[in-house]
Amino acid sequence: MENTNLNGKTVIVTGANRGLGKAITHNLAKMGAFVYMVCRDPVMGKEVEKEFLEDNLNVKLKITDLEKIEDIGNLYNEIASEKDYIDILINNAGVNLEEPDTRIDNLDMNILQRTMDINFRGLLYTCQKFLNLLIKAPEARIINFSSGLGQLTVPRMGYYPAYSISKTAVNALTKNLAFELKDTNVSVFSVDPGWVKTRLGGPEAPLEIKEGIDTTIFLSTERIANLQSGEFYKERKILGW
């Protein structure tokens, strides 16, 4: 059974100004949650915040570049001065900076570094910083955005190596963190949204945004007893890693 009444819940969504993050923010705020919208681009961030506020949704924009450790520290300090605890942290922000013909043998080290810094280090540090606010919630969830390209149980498709490796690392983080938190009120999940039409997914993707956010909304609202911390979900089901 899903809890579609999120009144009183506080959520953080990274990458909330467009694509999947924008739609997740909209859906959870419609259910009554207060949502911190984290993104890097202030212009698009303010536009979307305005659109949501005009729709009477409870949102607040926090401009943060997740590539920068000090920005994540500042984000934490601001939110910790405003809230006693956080119920749901959705680490959705991500980049794919590679050309389709990128392979390990021609991978640019700067691209590798930036991809790992945004998709993995920034995500891990966000978890680390916000843990003490999540632990104070009656029941808390962390949802980490991975990808089918991060899965090791299917043959590697041989492209986007930095992106793919960064998403495998996200899955490893989910496993490790869930184990560390097994005796607490905090559950940790990885999610594969499928291939979705967004700026990152491109126009040829088969899924619409509404379909791409379904599992994340499910993981945010389903009774915790029906979910398994430390697992990787797609289409509401547990996937092999």
Ligand X SMILES: NC(=O)c1ccc[n+]([C@@H]2O[C@H](COP(=O)([O-])OP(=O)(O)OC[C@H]3O[C@@H](n4cnc5c(N)ncnc54)[C@H](OP(=O)(O)O)[C@@H]3O)[C@@H](O)[C@H]2O)c1
Name the residue with tokens 């520290």. 73
Q: Pick between residue 57 and residue 123 the one whose CB is nearest to ligand X.
A: 123
Q: Is 160 tagged catalytic?
A: yes
Taking the least distance from each CB to ligand X, the nearer of 39 and 178 is 39
Of 67 and 231, which has the nearer Cβ to ligand X? Answer: 67
Other C-beta atoms lying within 10 Å of the C-beta of residue 138: 8
- Rounded least distance, CB 20 to ligand X, Å: 4
Q: Which is nearer to ligand X, 47 or 139 (CB)?
A: 47
Query: 76, 125, 160, 233: which one is catalytic?
Result: 160
Cα–Cα distance for residue pair 43/59, rounded to 1 Å: 16
Q: Least distance to ligand X from the beta carbon of 185, Å?
A: 25
CA distances from 52 to 25, 33, 180 (A): 9, 13, 36
> Phi and psi dihedrals of 138, rounded to 5?
-60, -35
CB of 225 to ligand X, least distance (A): 27
- If the CB atoms of residues 122 and 137 are measured against ligand X, the closer one turns out to be 122
In this structure, what DSSP letter does residue 226 have?
Answer: G
Euclidean distance between CA atoms 233 and 63, whole angstroms: 29
Token pair belonging to 202? 């491109």
Residues that bind ligand X in the complex, under the rule CB under 6 A: 14-15, 17-21, 39-41, 44, 64-67, 92-95, 118, 145, 147, 193, 195-196, 198-201, 205
Structure token digits, residue 115: 């991809």
> 209: how many CB neighbours lie within 10 A of its CB?
20
Cβ 7 to ligand X shortest distance, Å: 26
Please report how close the Cβ of residue 8 comes to ligand X at its closest, in angstroms.
Answer: 26
Whole-angstrom distance, CA of residue 71 vs CA of residue 66: 7
Report the catalytic residues. Answer: 160
